[in-house]
Structures are given as C-alpha cells and as structure tokens.
Structure 1
Amino acid sequence: MDTDHSSRAVPSVAIYARQSVEEDQGFAQQIADCEEEVRRRGWLVVGEPYPDNDVSGSAARGSKTYWARMLKAFDAGQFDVLMVTEVDGLTRSLTDVLGIRPPRRDIRVVTVRGGIDRQDDDYKLKQLVLLAEREVKIKAQRAQRYARERRAAGHPSTGKASHGYTWVTAANRDQAGTRYVIDADEAQDVRKIFTEFLSGAPLGQIARDLNSAGRKTRKGARWHTSTVRRIVMNPLYAALLPPSQGSQPHDLAIIDLAACTPGAWEPLVECDHLVAARDKLAGVKPDHQGTARKWLLSGLAICAVCRQPVRSARGRTHPSPRKDGSGTTPSQRYHTYRCVNGHIMRKGEIIDEFVSEVCIARLSKADTLDLLAPKPGTVDVRVLHSQREALGGKAQERAQAARIRQGDRGRCRGSARRPQLRAVDAEIARGVAIDSLAELVGVKDVRTWWHREEWPFARRRSIVEALMTVVIHPVGYGKRITTLEAAADTVENEWTDGKKKAGTHG
C-alpha cells in the first residue's frame, strides 16, 4: 500500500476482538487484556476497538463486519499495529492471514499470548493459523458424524422448538436425551388447528378464531393464514424428523414423509391426521385470511327464490326525523344476508339465532347417535397405513441401494412409487377427516356445549352444513323480523339425512 506506517515514533495500536458465540463478558476480557499489553509496551491506542461478536473465524467476513472496518482504517493510515489476545481471536483462516501480509498489506500483528509479532517473523503466525484451520476441519467432521448419529436416534438439531413444544437443554434432558417436551398451553393451539382444519374449517377462519380467543403465537403476534398453514404442514407435530434440506430455503411442502425419521419425543397429533392435513393442502396456494367466514350462514344458506348461496353484507339504518323536531337518531350498521341476484336482504342476527336453536333442538333428540353411525364406503385407515409404511419402506430400500450401487438411475426408479404413496395419502385423508358431530358422544347438555366460548366459530358452521340446508325466504319491503317465532315463518331447514324435511317451523 502507499500509506507509510513506519514514520511514527510511538506505534499507534488498534485492538481487534472476535468470538464465535455472542457473549459480552468475553469481549470485555479480550479488550482489557489488549489495553493492558499496550500500556505495558508504552504504545498508544487509537480509536475504538473493533469487536466482531458472533462471527466465525473460519468463515468469510463480509463488508459489514468490524474486520472489514479495521482493514479500511489501516489502509487509511490510522494505526500501525493490530493487537489481539491470541491467534484464534484474530482468525482461523489462512486466507485472512494472506490479506494482512504483503503484497496486499503489511499489518504488524501482535498477540498478548503466544509470543506472536509479525515484525520479527510471521512464520509462527502462519503455522498457528494452519493448525487452527485443521482443528476447524476436524471439529466439522466430528459435528457431521454427531449430527448423523443424533438424527438416526430421532433427535432434532439445536434451535427453537416449534409452537407447542419446549426445547430441553443438555443439563435437563432425561436418560433418553429427549430434546422436545410438550408445552401444555401452546399444545392446545396446535391440536385445535388440526381438529378444525380436518373438520372442514378454512385456514383463515382458524386464524380468526384463535385471534378472537386471545391466543397469540410464541412471539406474541396475531395468527395469520400462513402461520396456521405452517403448523398443519409440519411433520414434527406427528413426531417425525424431516431430512435435512441443506443450504436451500426450508420448505415444508416438499418434505417426503416416507423419508422422515421417527422422532424421540411425544407427538401432538396422530400421523394419519398429519397425512390427511398435508394431503388437503398439497398443491394449494395459501388463501388470504380475509376469505374466512365471519357469520354463521354466509355461503351455506340459500335464497328460496333462486336457490343460490347467500352472502353476508353490512346494512345501514336510515332513521326518520323525530316528531319533536330534534333531528334523527344516529344511523347504525347491522349484519345482513343478501342474495347475489337481489331477491332477498335480511337481518342476519335473528336468523343465526334461530338456526342455532334449531341445531340445539335437533342434537338434543334421542336419535342423535344415529347421526354418528359409520357412513357407507368408510375406509379402513389401519390397512391404508400399513400399505403406506410398506411403500415407504420399499422406497427407502431403493434409495439406499441407489446410493450404493446405481446413482441417479436407481433414484429415478425409486421415485416411481411416489404416485402410489400420494394415492394412499389421499385415501387416508378421506378416512380420517374428523366428523363435525363426533364430539356429541357423551354430551348431556347440548345447549351449553353449543354456546361454550372456547368453541371455534368454524365448528358451528361445519355442524350446520352437516345437518341441514338453510333456505331463507323474502319477507317484503319494510317488514321487520325481530322474534324467533317470526323467523321460523320465513326460514326453512332441509335436513341432509333425507329422513325429515322441516317446514317453516324447522
């Protein structure tokens, strides 16, 4: 470089500190040791120290690191000597050493420990860095071997546990080395998400229900369609450890469940339910949360005139002036159901209340258990699961043989079984889809069961859909329906079991 660093009588010193793990105490000790050595030598510290916290000494250091700032300061002639505690604190890469010695730069490096001073001889510095590089490679090989053994035993890698689990530190693990334990509070969210989704609730509605119930993600944020989708797609909840995806962006959708390793922790959901949930979302783009239904009958009830589904809307009152001349009462907005063809527009609250009462009355009858009878064409999930395990096992055997003997050609032949696996998954999804009425078993007070606050709104909609088709009739301009008796005269319920067709009184 053109800058002359040899003209100063007293060397000016810059202090550099680095550590791979973020720890403020370690930095303070390094800097204090360097400052003490500078005072002992009678030199002068210029500027602030250059601290690279949580920066690897063996990886490339970018332009935003303090290492890069230090090099620029030297190029600008701001210091003569670079002081570090020891070689490991400087670097573990010979490439970095070549960047601070001729012909690129001629930085005099002095270490507090180890007796390194590049002014005398940089041979020792290079030797120590080469030894550090070798140590890094050995540690990496050990880490790779440990990772393979850990994964084979079903243990996840270090990191934040998924919502519903808590990470167990090494000091607190049991004899089996379990890394994940169930967080009872968060596990409620996960189980509810799977239950509601397999009952037919859309992702956006599930997120809306969680937010309405005051539930938060682990970070304290609101639930969104994307966060609910990630939970439904995550094999970890069925105690399945997915294969590593390497350096590519992590994508839950491309995980092959047949390639997962049984996890060494307790599952939150059944494996078949995970398969069913993933099958429902396969190839489906996430929907915006705004598509979730806000009202009980939106998209379910139909217009009595055109038999088309009704939609929810917002109406506004238009009050007349008061007789005393004091003006009009404030205009108010209210919930309505409207026909897309303009045949009806009715206030929705009273209709929702009426339909809820009809559902409670129907589910309180003695023949309720008949609603839970096995449906024709029910599949045997156990048999399907055995078929899936057999296909997965054969696929894994083929993949292993391919890696050993035949390379890519063998992997291509093994992939021929994937369509068979997808077909079995689709059958499992059909077989384990949760019946909206299944919770009725053992329920004595249907009214309390229906109105309980913690019950997701989407479940009420799924029960209405399972029981009946609601037909809404027009009532004429200006007529107000304010009682359940009046609603019964204008709302018809067609039962879906074919055994009974309700008239105007349900």
Structure 2
Amino acid sequence: MPTIRSTTPRVAIYARQSVDEEQGIGQQLDDCRAECRRREWQIAGEFQDNDTSASKERGPKTAWAAMLKAFDAGEFDAIIVTETSRITRSLVDVLDIRPPRRDIRVVVIREAIDTEHDDFMLKQLVLLAEREVKIKGARAARYAATRRAAGHPTPGKPPHGYRWVPQIERDSAGIRYRIDDAEAEDVRQMFREFLAGAPLGQIARDLSEAGRLTRRGSRWSSSTVRRVLLNPVYAALLAPAQPSGEYDATAIDLEACTPGAWDAIVERDHLVAARSRLIGVAPNHSGTARKWLLSGLAICAVCSTPVRSARGETHPTARIDGSGAAQTLRYHAYRCVKGHFMRNGDIIDEFISEVCIVRLSAADALQLVSPRADRVDIGVLHATREGLKTRRQSIARFVARGLLTDLEADDSLREIADEMRSISDEIARAIREDPLAELAEVDDVRAWWNGSTLARRRLIVEALMTVRIHPVGHGRRVTNLDSAAETVTVEWSRS
C-alpha cells in the first residue's frame, strides 16, 4: 500500500560540518529555516553535527543517529539540507535514508534535489563525493609518506617547547618546528632533574611554584611531566604513525623513528635514559612533591624515623601591660611521627642550606663532583649499536636473496633486538646524572644554591649527608644558626 503524505510535510533540518567553525552550522540552519518559511513547511526538529566527518561512520551519539531514530518514531516526514555534501559523502548513508530501508524525503536547497520526484541525482552526487574522498585520501597518504621521509611533522599544535612555523615563514628546508626558548628551558629542566633522580611530582611542583605553567596556563602535574619525558620529538625524532585515537608514547620504538628536520631540545641519549626509567613502571600520578627541604629526608635523632613536615602554631601569653596577647602565628615545622619533637623548620632548613653551601664551596669540593672512574664509554656503546643495525640490514638482504629462511632470520633478529635493548639500558644508566655533577662548572655556589630548584637541593642533601634532628625540650627556642648547629647532627655520606 503506498505511503500517504500530508500536503504540508513535517521537516527536520540537518546541519553538519567537518571542522568546528563558528559560522558554519549557523549559516546552514538559517538557510534551511528560510527555505521552510518560503515553502510554508512545518519544522519538526533541528539536528546539528559539528566537527563531524560525513565520509566516516557516524556513531550512535551523533545527531545523525538521533535524527534517524526520530524518523522511525514518526516525528517528521522529510529532511532538508543546504547541500548534498552536508548530509553525507558515503552511499552507505544514503541507503540508510532511502528505500528499501527507509523512505525519507530529502530536499537539497542549492542543488535543487527533491527525492519525492527522483533520487537519482542525489545518489550520483554522493557517489562522486565518495570517489573524491578516496582520491583525496590516496593523495594525502602519498603526501604524508613524502613529508615523513623529509622529517616534517604533521600540521597541528606542536608540543611544549616548540612553535609552529607558518608556511610563509619557513626557510628553504621547510622547517615547521621552531624552538621556543622559554618553554624549551622547562623541558630541559624536566630532563635534567629527572635524570638526577627527582620524582615527577617534585619536578611538576617546582615548575608550577616558579610560575612556569603549561601553555594552557595550568599547573604541571606528574602525568604532564611524564608525557614530556617520553616524547621523542624533543630529541628531533619523528615517531611512526599510530592509529587515530590510540596514541601510546610507551609503544614507540625509537629505532623506527625518522630523524626530524627540526632542532632537538635534548640529546637522544637523555631521551633514552628517561624512557628507560619510565617504560614498564606504573605511573605514580600522585607523585612525591615536597614543599620543604628536609621532609622525608631528615630523621629523628631518638628513633631514626624520617621526619615529616607540619604546621606549627604559636601560643603567645598575655602582655604584662594588660594590652592582651600577641597575634597567633602559624609556621613551618618538622615533627617526629612518634612524638619525640616538633620544631620550627625554617631555621633548620637555613642551617642545612648553609652547611651545603660551605661544603660545596670548599677547596676540595671538586672531588665530590669528579666523574666516576668506572664510567661507561658511551661512544663504544653507540658504535656497538650501529654495528647491530648493520647486521639487521644484512639479515633482511639474506632473506630477500633466499640465503636465510624466515625462521632463521626471526631467531637472529630477536637476538639482535635483545642486544640493542641491553645497550640502550647501559646508555641510560651511563647518562643518568649525579646530582652534584652540575656543580663542577659552578663558580658561585651560594648563587647557584639560591637559584636552584627544591628538587635539586633535596637531591644534594640526600647525596651528601644524613641529617638527624634532636629534641630541644619544652620552652627552648632555637632562633639562630649557632643554636641550630647544637641541635642538628650532620653525618656525611661523601667525604
């Protein structure tokens, strides 16, 4: 039995665009509303898919799916769009709205299509659009392969530390990433501190407390610092493409990366060292961010338990002249978790800082920061790794010429991969910095200490000494460095 339509159809307006632009959707809706007014049609609903491709499958959460569900519920009779490309670029979608599956009347304003009379032109235009999508896809894939071979990244927002170079400003080499000096220093500090042993949370806190925020103006976190330390782009390496929406920095094989055409911010070995410490280790997003120099480092002189930071509060007594008590003040303190003491931490931090500055300024301090005698020769490791790469290429040639079976090649390649992984681990261990190494070239230790991060100061205290804090008894106040020296014991780890 033929479908009986009312003389005035109930119409659903559908608007779609692939890229989120402020005016695009609005203009489509305005044009469709004007056409409905001209024809005196009733608008039963409006459906908008912003930032949605018409050449890919539209999921159940899109306005497209909601519109089909509304038609199935009998809420409208026809769809009106401005252009065929707005409704779809895939014939599969046309089969969703035209017989035999559904019989939705489709009206296209600019191409004067009305499927009540004939849907041949609609299907032809969609087929042409589908063909154009495939041609553009093949062209884009070829261009992407050429671009990657030249070491150029994909267009888009560059990572922290780099700025995108517009085409009009590029040099003859077509470089697309330019180092942002201020942001690049953030990246260098992350690698420097992490390779010296600082926790991710402490690195994030130090950057944020210094007012050095992410590009969005947010504070750094353990997870954002971790992403930086894993990213091969900072060593000027272009990672292999990964499936859309499935990016995983830990799955990137550095050996499969293409040399990038931009300048590196950190050395490749530093990237290898950072990744070796992070990959295979469960991320600790809570971090270990300390606010004070000795939290968790100093120990109680009575029970040898690590001390914790606390907030002390003064309890002033009333003045003799009857004018009342002084204002209650809060202060930074260290406390023994077993209750042996709680002491003002500022004077203790000042004392330990002074002890470190004096020790590192001494004539024999260079012995503390001299390279280890058993230091691995990184140049030899690099040469060995290059030799393994050559062996891997030779095996591929032998297989191609039939001189090796696939099974024999697999065994050899697995052995080479294990050796290369072992060498990368050795390079990572060799490149990890001694927290004192930076001081070898420092002339003014006091200025360096005052300008260094809390993470670096804590690393130096941990490397140089064990700090024991003694109880001082009720009523005694430690207010200067001399009295602090009498109640704090320093046991040197490096002499």
Q: TM-score range by the shorter chain?
A: 0.7 to 0.9
Correspondence for 1:482: 479
Q: Aligned to 1:362, which of 330, 353, 359?
A: 359
CA distance in 1, matches of 2:165, 2:401: 36
Correspondence for 1:430: 429
State the AA in 2 paired with 1:190: V
Q: CA deviation at 1:448?
A: 2.4
Deviations 1:255-300 (A, max 9, x none): 2222222112111111111111111223222234463222212333
Deviations 1:54-109 (A, max 9, x none): 22122222344333344345445555443334332321111211122223322232
**Residue 85 of structure 1 contacts residue 113 of structure 1 at CA under 8 Å; is this kept in 2?**
yes
Correspondence for 2:246: 249
Alignment TM-score, normalising by the size of structure 1: 0.85
Task: Please show how residues 139-154 of structure 1 align to structure 2 within 5 Å.
Answer: 139-154=136-151
Task: Please show how residues 387-406 of structure 1 align to structure 2 within 5 Å.
Answer: 387-391=384-388, 394=391
Correspondence for 2:413: 414
Name structure 2 gaps, 5 residues minimum: none
Q: Does 1:224 align with 2:221?
A: yes
Task: Please show how residues 158-173 of structure 1 align to structure 2 within 5 Å.
Answer: 158-173=155-170
Evaluate the alpha carbon distance shift between residue 420 and residue 220 of structure 1 in structure 2; reply closer, same or farther with a 3 A threshold.
same
Q: CA deviation at 1:484?
A: 0.9
Q: Aligned to 2:236, which of 235, 239, 245?
A: 239
CA distance in 1, matches of 2:240, 2:398: 18
Correspondence for 2:20: 22
**Residue 402 of structure 1 contacts residue 409 of structure 1 at CA under 8 Å; is this kept in 2?**
no
CA distance in 2, matches of 1:282, 1:203: 14
Q: CA deviation at 1:114?
A: 4.3
Q: CA deviation at 1:375?
A: 1.5
**Residue 5 of structure 1 contacts residue 77 of structure 1 at CA under 8 Å; is this kept in 2?**
no
Task: Please show how residues 182-201 of structure 1 align to structure 2 within 5 Å.
Answer: 182-201=179-198
CA distance in 1, matches of 2:197, 2:377: 21
Evaluate the alpha carbon distance shift between residue 381 and residue 27 of structure 1 in structure 2; reply closer, same or farther with a 3 A threshold.
same
Name structure 1 gaps, 5 residues minimum: 499-506
CA distance in 1, matches of 2:397, 2:149: 15
Correspondence for 2:207: 210
Q: Look up the SS of the partner of 1:144 in the other structure.
A: helix
Q: Look up the SS of the partner of 2:114 in the other structure.
A: coil
**Residue 259 of structure 1 contacts residue 396 of structure 1 at CA under 8 Å; is this kept in 2?**
no
State the AA in 2 paired with 1:291: T
Q: How many residues align?
A: 493
Q: Aligned to 1:280, which of 277, 282, 285?
A: 277
State the AA in 1 paired with 2:260: G
Q: Look up the SS of the partner of 2:15 in the other structure.
A: strand
CA distance in 2, matches of 1:179, 1:407: 41
Evaluate the alpha carbon distance shift between residue 338 and residue 169 of structure 1 in structure 2; reply closer, same or farther with a 3 A threshold.
same
CA distance in 1, matches of 2:277, 2:142: 37
Greater displacement, 71-80 / 141-150: 71-80
Q: CA deviation at 1:164?
A: 1.1
State the AA in 2 paired with 1:18: R
State the AA in 1 paired with 2:241: S
Task: Please show how residues 345-356 of structure 1 align to structure 2 within 5 Å.
Answer: 345-356=342-353
Correspondence for 1:6: 5
**Residue 443 of structure 1 contacts residue 449 of structure 1 at CA under 8 Å; is this kept in 2?**
yes
CA distance in 2, matches of 1:367, 1:288: 40
Correspondence for 2:334: 337
CA distance in 2, matches of 1:132, 1:49: 24
Q: Look up the SS of the partner of 1:215 in the other structure.
A: coil
Correspondence for 2:79: 82
Q: CA deviation at 1:238?
A: 0.9
**Residue 243 of structure 1 contacts residue 260 of structure 1 at CA under 8 Å; is this kept in 2?**
yes
Greater displacement, 401-410 / 124-133: 401-410
State the AA in 1 paired with 2:14: Y
Evaluate the alpha carbon distance shift between residue 410 and residue 101 of structure 1 in structure 2; reply closer, same or farther with a 3 A threshold.
farther
**Residue 199 of structure 2 contacts residue 287 of structure 2 at CA under 8 Å; is this kept in 1?**
no
State the AA in 1 paired with 2:298: A
Greater displacement, 57-66 / 384-393: 384-393
State the AA in 2 paired with 1:457: L
State the AA in 1 paired with 2:433: I
Greater displacement, 30-39 / 399-408: 399-408
Q: Look up the SS of the partner of 1:46 in the other structure.
A: strand
